[in-house]
Structure 1
Amino acid sequence: MRSQRNISLVCSHCEGKAGDVIVGGVLDLPAKAMHAKLVCYMNEQDDLRKLLLREPRGRLE
């Protein structure tokens, strides 16, 4: 089966905390500050967060 969506991530690890940084495959939101982008994603596109947390190698914390 082929994937319908490709998202590029950089996986990081700092002081025991793992995290992923999206570097490609997701359109940028036209907001002036990162907090505004966060709020927009939380309110309108929460499926992206759920995809990254629940995919076969996701991190439920």
Structure 2
Amino acid sequence: MFEIRVICDPDDADRISTALTAAFHTGPARQDPTRDRKRTRLYFTATHRTSGTTHTESE
């Protein structure tokens, strides 16, 4: 088990959550604003998927 932290624009949070859920087994994301309140921090608890290979947009 490991934790993933992503800092992103609030408008991108849903897209990022969907992509990480497709790539890993994740729990629900915890969300907090950044100190400047302009971006969002997403925290996911995750484990590796054991079957199949998932490709992400960056591959």
TM-score (norm 1): 0.24
The higher relative CO (CA closer than 8 Å, separation ≥ 6) is in 2
Q: Which has the higher helix share?
A: 1
Higher Cα Rg: structure 1 or 2? 1
Q: Which has the higher strand share?
A: 2
TM-score (norm 2): 0.25
